[in-house]
Structure 1
Amino acid sequence: MKMPQRDITLRFLAETQDVNFGGKVHGGAVMKWIDLAAYACAAGWSGRYCVTAYAGGIRFVQPIHVGSLVEVEAKVIYTGKSSMHIALEVNACDPKSLNRRLTTHCIVIMVAVDQNGHSERIPEWVPETEADIKQHDTAIKLMNMRKKIGEEMQIFVE
């Protein structure tokens, strides 16, 4: 049986159509790349079609310039019955120098679904290294925090 793939890195060049009015890559373009990498990571782990259930904690640390080599790294840090918490990091650099710098990071939760949109069971990810355990534990802390934030946010949806 083939082992699920826990992580993936997408690489490409930032293009002119990705630019905002300030001449840097638009945050929405970065969020699209994050969603694509999260999907590829979740599908690779679960072997199923997946949908985005949550994207949060996004931090835009530094801008990305047109022509930059962009790397979007995604890895599973927690699994539920059908959900996967994916940690994402976006790095960029001039392709001539390859001096990578962190530009963005966040967490995305993906859910494996069947053709009718019902959640499907996925393989469990078990942390092995000390770093894996820290990330797994942090994912659990963030889940509890999101629950509290969700309760507070109800005022805006009622």
Structure 2
Amino acid sequence: MSGHQRELTLRFLAEPADVNYGGKVHGGVVMKWIDQAGYAAAVGWSGTYSVTVAVGGIRFVAPIRISDLVTVRTKLVHTGTSSMHFAVDVSARDPMGGETRLCTHCVIVFVALDGVEGKPTAVPAWEPVSQDDRHLAEYAMQVMELSKGIEQTVQRYRAAGEL
């Protein structure tokens, strides 16, 4: 039933295998969680296999500690013809109590693929309804524009042989 699951939430405990030598969860592990939640959200929206094409604006705001209750929330904030942009918040708290803290935020983009040739395929359109929706959609587009600018800069450095 594609086009109906706009939001998705995953919850789990940070495990000993997730942490670095400082006792905090590795940034790469957090990025894996973001990708997994994004994939589940993209498949839920599109109804078909989807792949990650970009992550933009990722910010690690606060550390996640071993045994923290982690929440990864995705929210669809923009659709293109075959693409889906999700705002993702990763938060954590002590499962025995305490305040929930925002730990990471980003925008992740997936493209839906057909099951035959692996080519991009159309996704159900989503239109902002509220003012908050419009702000999130604008934010997602700004983040992705910044990412495109970074890509262009890297390409210039590569072309000049500086990277």
TM-score between both structures, scaled by the size of structure 1? 0.93
Sequence identity percentage: 49
Asked whether the equivalents of residues 83 and 110 of structure 1 are also in contact (C-alpha less than 8 Å), the reply is: yes
User: Cα RMSD over matched residues?
Assistant: 1.5
**1:56 CA displacement:** 2.0
Give the 3-state SS of the residue equivalent to 1:57 in structure 2. strand
Match of 1:155 in 2: 156
Q: Supply the distance in 1 between the matched residues of 2:98 and 2:6 (Cα, whole angstroms).
A: 25
Change (3 A) 1:64 1:2: closer
Give the 3-state SS of the residue equivalent to 1:155 in structure 2. helix
Match of 1:125 in 2: 126
Q: Supply the distance in 2 between the matched residues of 1:98 and 1:81 (Cα, whole angstroms).
A: 42
**1:79 CA displacement:** 0.4
Kindly provide the amino acid, as one letter, of the partner of residue 125 in structure 1: W
Match of 1:4 in 2: 4
Q: Supply the distance in 1 between the matched residues of 2:148 and 2:65 (Cα, whole angstroms).
A: 36
Kindly provide the amino acid, as one letter, of the partner of residue 112 in structure 1: A
Match of 1:13 in 2: 13
Change (3 A) 1:4 1:101: same
**1:147 CA displacement:** 2.8
Q: Supply the distance in 1 between the matched residues of 2:152 and 2:3 (Cα, whole angstroms).
A: 38
Give the 3-state SS of the residue equivalent to 1:149 in structure 2. helix
Match of 1:142 in 2: 143
Give the 3-state SS of the residue equivalent to 1:111 in structure 2. strand
Match of 1:38 in 2: 38
Match of 2:84 in 1: 84
Kindly provide the amino acid, as one letter, of the partner of residue 77 in structure 1: V
Asked whether the equivalents of residues 53 and 111 of structure 1 are also in contact (C-alpha less than 8 Å), the reply is: yes
Match of 1:23 in 2: 23
**1:150 CA displacement:** 2.1
**1:92 CA displacement:** 0.2
Match of 2:65 in 1: 65
Q: After TM superposition, list the pairs within 5 Å mapping 1:93-112 onto structure 2.
A: 93-112=93-112
Q: Supply the distance in 2 between the matched residues of 1:2 and 1:153 (Cα, whole angstroms).
A: 37
Asked whether the equivalents of residues 4 and 47 of structure 1 are also in contact (C-alpha less than 8 Å), the reply is: no
What runs of 5+ residues in structure 2 fail to find an aligned partner? Answer: none
Q: Supply the distance in 1 between the matched residues of 2:158 and 2:89 (Cα, whole angstroms).
A: 30
